[in-house]
Amino acid sequence: MKQVAIIGVGNMGSAMARCLLGKGYLVRVIDVDRRKTDALCLLGAIAHPDASTVPAACSAVIVCVVDRVQVEQVLPTITKPATNSAHSERAVILCPTIAPEDVERFAQSLTERGLQSIDCPMSGGPARAECGTMSLMVACPDAVYAQHQTLLHDLSNQVFRISGRVGDGARMKLVNNLLAGIHLAGTAESIALAERIGLDARTVLAVLQSGSAQSWIAGDRMSRALAGDFAPRAHMTLLAKDTQLALAMARKSGVACHIGTPASQAFVDAASSGYADLDDAALLTFFQKRSP
């Protein structure tokens, strides 16, 4: 049986676990929240206290935590299988949205410990992760990709091979999330404007999604916002973090982000105004209540 471990089974990690369980994998799960691992154990997963107890037959460990700090906390627990094992090569698949230089640093430390690394950010949300249709942005050496491509394609039918340079997956993800933030902020502000001038918000969203202003993230989030559904699939703080990382990358590259900067600030301001623990769809409410 194919085996994989997942560290961090929140919204995306648990969705990936369910996807792989449905495809016949033995999935080993690790999370500080016992309730999350218990729920997956009911579906056939096996819980571990940390990655050091994952058996040698597990050829890949997917890291699906939130940020750089959490990656730094969990990486030391991932061990290389015994050299006399038939499964001596193990890949660590890095899925969090973090700075490219951090990905490069983590990859170097893994290489020094005899572990492979795959830079593999994801996009699309939990529903698409569970049904295997999210996007994966993969950067790693060709030999590593060849060895683990079956797992990657079992996780997603949209695997984008960015390059052989670890760090380029992170760069692609930050470009993606900066534009996602721009789309979401622009749509939320436009709907707030439409309501202020007397238009029906649901009609406005239907028109926007049927023409040149269409955006997947805007349609997904604004539909939930207009239904009053702010249960966090992606917390407000995530796009605040991700867009700020994208702007930092732009500054290092000498690129001025004239549109991305105010869009990013909207998520930062919303998070600091009481919306941090809500879904980023709550950006609409933030704009609706913001003083002129």
CA 112 to chain centre: 26
Q: Is the pLDDT of residue 292 over 90?
A: no
3-165: CATH, from 3.30.70.1170, 3.40.50.720, 3.40.50.300, 1.25.40.10: 3.40.50.720
Looking at residue 186, its pLDDT comes to 97
Looking at residue 86, its pLDDT comes to 58
Q: What is the mean pLDDT of the chain?
A: 96
130-184, pLDDT tens digit by residue?
Answer: 999 999 999 999 999 999 999 999 999 999 999 999 999 999 999 999 999 999 9
Distance CA(124)–CA(139), nearest Å, equals 18
Confidence at 192, pLDDT banded by 50, 70, 90? very high
Looking at residue 89, its pLDDT comes to 84
Partner residues linked to 137 by β-bridges = 160
Q: What is the mean pLDDT of residues 52-79?
A: 95
For residue 171, what are the contacts with CB-CB under 8 A and spacing of at least 6? Answer: 100, 162, 249
What does pTM read for this prediction? 0.93
Distance CA(79)–CA(5), nearest Å, equals 12
Pairing of strands 3-7, 26-30: parallel
Q: Is the pLDDT of residue 73 over 90?
A: yes
Q: What is the mean pLDDT of residues 192-197?
A: 97
Top pLDDT among 84 and 278 is at 278
259-274, pLDDT tens digit by residue?
Answer: 999 999 999 999 999 9
Q: Which letter, b or e, does each residue of 54-76 get, where b requires 16 or more Cβ atoms within 10 Å of its Cβ?
A: bebebbbbbbbbbbbebbeebbe
Looking at residue 173, its pLDDT comes to 98
Pairing of strands 135-139, 122-123: antiparallel
- Report whether CATH 1.20.950.20 matches the domain 170-289: no
Distance CA(261)–CA(137), nearest Å, equals 24
Looking at residue 93, its pLDDT comes to 98
The CB-side HSE value for 191 (13 A sphere, CA atoms) comes to: 32
Going from N- to C-terminal start, the domains of the chain cover 3-165, 170-289
Looking at residue 82, its pLDDT comes to 78
Paired tokens of 273:
């105004």
Looking at residue 88, its pLDDT comes to 62
Q: Do domains 3-165 and 170-289 have the same CATH topology?
A: no
In eight-state DSSP terms, residue 271 is I
Looking at residue 291, its pLDDT comes to 73
CA 34 to chain centre: 21
The closest of 165, 74, 154, 155 to 119, measured between CA atoms, is 165
For the chain, the distance separating the N- and C-terminal CA atoms, rounded to the nearest angstrom, is 59
Please state, for a pLDDT cut of 70, what percent of the chain lies above it.
Answer: 98
